[in-house]
């Protein structure tokens, strides 16, 4: 079974959803969660689910080889970014070519790039008066949110839509599609 490391910075609801789907369908094992935020909700989720966590600071990702060493020693096959807000360094992309997948809460190339994450994306989409939004699942390359797109799903934006209500719709799309799209790649 492929061994997965999930990188996450926030609440971790996608990570938990992936865990349940992969366990239930015996598709992959989530062997490690890498987190860069001591306040992140993912930490309590990981503890409840019994998944080991590596808490990192900037140096361990960019300057040292801490992350690579853990990934190699745990025989990680795939990296999944589920709400991870730091840029993935080139050395990691070289180590895992076409094996790092990100989910982004907009229809890329719209509303992607540095600083575009989570609620900021939904606020920008609403402010621009868009009539639809969606999710993008893509391979990770050296540029934020610019790797090859694997899958997109759309949802309409209603007249009275708020960033909060859009975030809920987007999360539903993510829960439905992200596990299946990943399963199709493994
Ligand atoms: C998700 O909506 C994901 O698409 C987004 O962060 C949220 C994390 O939610 N990712 C980005 O914005 C990346 N640029 P979660 O922590 O509850 O899974």
Mean pLDDT on 135-145:
92
Q: Whose CA is nearest to atom 3 of ligand 1?
A: 83
Identify the CA nearest to 147 among candidates 184, 76, 96: 96
**CATH 3.40.50.170 region(s) of the chain?**
1-97, 104-186
| CA torsion angle 64 67 70 72 (round to 10) | -90
Instruction: Specify the pLDDT at position 114.
Output: 86
Instruction: Specify the pLDDT at position 130.
Output: 97
Work out the pLDDT band at 1, boundaries 50, 70, 90. Answer: very high
CATH class for the region spanning 104-186: alpha beta
Share of the chain above pLDDT 90, in %: 91
Predicted structure pTM score: 0.95
122 tagged catalytic: no
Instruction: Specify the pLDDT at position 51.
Output: 97
Q: 118: CA distance to ligand 1 center in Å?
A: 5
Q: Ligand 1 in contact with 17 (CB < 6 A)?
A: no
3-state helix, strand, coil in the chain (%, to 5): 40, 20, 40
> Which sign does the torsion angle of CA 75, 81, 83, 85 carry?
positive
Q: Ligand 1 in contact with 138 (CB < 6 A)?
A: no
Residue of 17, 20, 30, 105 to mutate, ligand 1, most atoms within 8 A of C-beta:
105
Query: What sections of 89-162 are H helices per DSSP?
Result: 90-95, 118-127
Edge-to-edge strands, sheet with 3-8: 53-55, 29-35, 3-8, 78-81, 100-104, 132-139, 149-156
- Read off φ and ψ for residue 141, nearest 5 degrees: -125, -165
Q: Which two tokens stand for residue 1?
A: 């079974």
Q: Which two tokens stand for residue 89?
A: 């360094």
User: Is domain 1-97 annotated with CATH 3.40.50.170?
Assistant: yes
Q: 71: CA distance to ligand 1 center in Å?
A: 22
Q: Ligand 1 in contact with 152 (CB < 6 A)?
A: no
Contacts of 159 (CB under 8 A, 6+ apart): none
> Which sign does the torsion angle of CA 181, 62, 90, 112 carry?
positive
Identify the CA nearest to 137 among candidates 182, 171, 99, 172: 182
Whether residue 70 is predicted with pLDDT greater than 90 in this model: the reply is yes
Work out the pLDDT band at 63, boundaries 50, 70, 90. Answer: confident
């Amino acid at each position: 079974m492929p061994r997965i490391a999930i990188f996450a910075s926030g609440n971790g609801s996608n990570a938990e959803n992936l865990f349940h789907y992969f366990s239930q369908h015996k598709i992959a094992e989530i062997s490690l969660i890498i987190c860069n935020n001591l306040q992140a909700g993912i930490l309590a989720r990981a503890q409840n689910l019994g998944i080991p966590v590596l808490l990192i600071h900037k140096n361990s990702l960019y300057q040292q080889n801490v992350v690579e060493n853990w990934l190699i020693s745990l025989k990680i096959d795939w990296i999944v970014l589920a709400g991870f807000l730091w840029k993935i360094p080139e050395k990691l992309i070289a180590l895992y070519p076409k094996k790092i997948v990100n989910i982004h809460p907009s229809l890329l190339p719209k509303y992607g790039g540095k600083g575009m994450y989570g609620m900021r994306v939904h606020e920008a989409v609403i402010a621009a008066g868009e009539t639809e939004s969606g999710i993008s699942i893509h391979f990770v390359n050296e540029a934020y949110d610019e790797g090859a797109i694997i899958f997109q799903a759309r949802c309409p934006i209603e007249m009275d839509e708020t960033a909060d209500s859009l975030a809920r719709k987007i999360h539903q799309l993510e829960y439905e599609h992200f596990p299946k799209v990943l399963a199709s790649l493994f």
